[in-house]
Amino acid sequence: MKKVSMKDIAKELNTSITTVSFVINGKSAAMGISPATEKKVRDLIKKREFNPNSAARMLRTGKSKTLGLIVEDIGNFFFGNIAKIIEIEANKNGYNVFFSSTENNDETAKRLINKMRNSSVDGYIITATQGLKDEVMKLGKENIPFVLIDRLIPDLETNYVILDNYQGSYNLTNHLIERGYKNIGFISIYSEMTMMTEREKGFSNAMLDGGLQLSEKNFLKVQFAASGASTINHIAEFLSNNTELDALFFATNYLGVMGIEALQKVNLNIPNDIAVVSFDDNDLFRLLTPSITVASQPIHEMATKSIEMLLRIIKKEQRLTENRGEVIKPEIIVRESSPFKKA
């Protein structure tokens, strides 16, 4: 679906772009445009989800000075902070930002891209869902600037800013192994997205490199869309059925938060009964007693690099087809939840 322009509105109504412009800018009466014509223009603008607020600028420059940010969940600690930094940096450069969440749903993501395309955003920063490959390829074919953040789309070369999820997961697992933990449970979600598969791979390879055994008992996966109560119950059941575990690795911060509640439910104490680490930080992890060891994503660096890259593409200082990538290293922040294991 291509972007809707004033030219498209005028063509569909068999009128001139000038007439459409006068209606948008509130000059219908002054320019002798009939109320009937004005209503037709405004009705079609609404139907086609055309954004008239930027129409005058678009007519002059071809730019709306707006950017689209599409992430998994704007309420999440990581994505919320990413959005805040991107908005600040965009404003410094004279851009506004439209924010939206996909909730990891393919159809929602496609609808948001098309809606923002119709609003004539100048470019996108996108956290891709698993089935978004065709839609992202379409942006490239239409030469619409975009940058992927947080995750890649397999077998598709694009501009991106991501975390080294494999190394972060490997290092976090190795931290537990070096402190004497041998029976480590890995709790994740069902997902084929690269960041999740890389985190699982990093965990598994660190365990094997450390000479430790791996079996199905080391892994629990839950549905992303499951309710919090359901996920907490699944984790609690997993813990009850695997009492030999001496440490837990939560693959996301929201799983870590729910996991802490599950541990309380089955009366396991951190770290006396079981050590805990989480991929990605959260304010709660820093404030809890005991505080939680994490692989922290450098949010400010990821956000600023993504907006800088997008603006370079928009300004034609970098070609969309150059397919540049930035891979950011995570930081292991050691806190109270993973002490050296007592003999």
| C-beta atoms surrounding 317 within 10 Å | 9
Model confidence pLDDT, tens digit, residues 206-221: 999 999 999 999 999 9
CA atoms of 334 and 296, how far apart (whole Å)? 10
Q: Same structural domain for residues 33 and 120?
A: no
Percent above pLDDT 90 for the chain: 65
Q: Same structural domain for residues 136 and 255?
A: no
Whether residue 236 is contained in a domain is answered as: yes
One DSSP character per residue, 87-124 reads HHHHHHTT-EEEEEE-TT-HHHHHHHHHHHHHTT-SEE
Model-level pTM? 0.75
Cβ neighbours for 53, distance < 8 A, ≥ 6 positions apart? none
CA atoms of 152 and 145, how far apart (whole Å)? 16
Q: Same structural domain for residues 255 and 290?
A: yes
Q: How many helices (H) and strands (E) does the chain have?
A: 13, 12
Whether residue 338 is contained in a domain is answered as: no
Q: Same structural domain for residues 192 and 274?
A: yes
Cβ neighbours for 198, distance < 8 A, ≥ 6 positions apart? 165, 166, 169
Q: Same structural domain for residues 173 and 209?
A: yes
CA dihedral of 89, 91, 96, 98, whole degrees rounded to 10: 40
Distance of CA 185 to the CA centre of its chain: 25
Model confidence pLDDT, tens digit, residues 218-231: 999 999 888 889 99
CB 128 within 8 A of CB 148: yes
For residue 289, give Cα distances in angstroms to 185, 225, 330, 339.
21, 29, 23, 13
- Considering its fold, how many domains does the chain have in total? 3
Q: Same structural domain for residues 139 and 261?
A: no
- Give the helix/strand (H/E) hosting 86: helix 77-92
Q: Same structural domain for residues 114 and 174?
A: no
Averaged pLDDT of the chain: 90
Largest distance between two CA atoms of the chain: 89
The residue that leads in pLDDT, 75 or 292, is 292
* CA-derived radius of gyration, the chain: 24
Output the domain CATH number for residue 105. 3.40.50.2300
Model confidence pLDDT, tens digit, residues 238-291: 999 999 999 999 999 999 999 999 999 999 999 999 999 999 999 999 999 999
**Does residue 212 sit in helix, strand or coil?**
coil
CA atoms of 172 and 19, how far apart (whole Å)? 62
Q: Same structural domain for residues 293 and 170?
A: yes
Model confidence pLDDT, tens digit, residues 161-211: 999 999 999 999 999 999 999 999 999 999 888 899 999 999 999 999 999
Whether residue 47 is contained in a domain is answered as: yes
Q: Same structural domain for residues 195 and 251?
A: yes
User: What pLDDT score was predicted for residue 135?
Assistant: 94
Whether residue 248 is contained in a domain is answered as: yes
Q: Out of 2-16, 20-34, 37-51, which region has the weakest mean confidence (pLDDT)?
A: 20-34
- Give the helix/strand (H/E) hosting 250: strand 247-250
Whether residue 343 is contained in a domain is answered as: no
Whether residue 199 is contained in a domain is answered as: yes
Q: Same structural domain for residues 182 and 291?
A: yes
Whether residue 1 is contained in a domain is answered as: no
Whether residue 342 is contained in a domain is answered as: no
3-state SS of 15-51 is CCHHHHHHHHCCCCCCCCCCHHHHHHHHHHHHHCCCC
Output the domain CATH number for residue 44. 1.10.260
Q: Same structural domain for residues 136 and 206?
A: no
Domain that holds residue 154: 64-163+299-329
- Give the helix/strand (H/E) hosting 326: strand 325-328
Q: Same structural domain for residues 272 and 171?
A: yes
Could you report how far apart the first and last alpha carbons of the chain are, in Å?
A: 63
Can you read off the two tokens belonging to residue 292? 């939680």
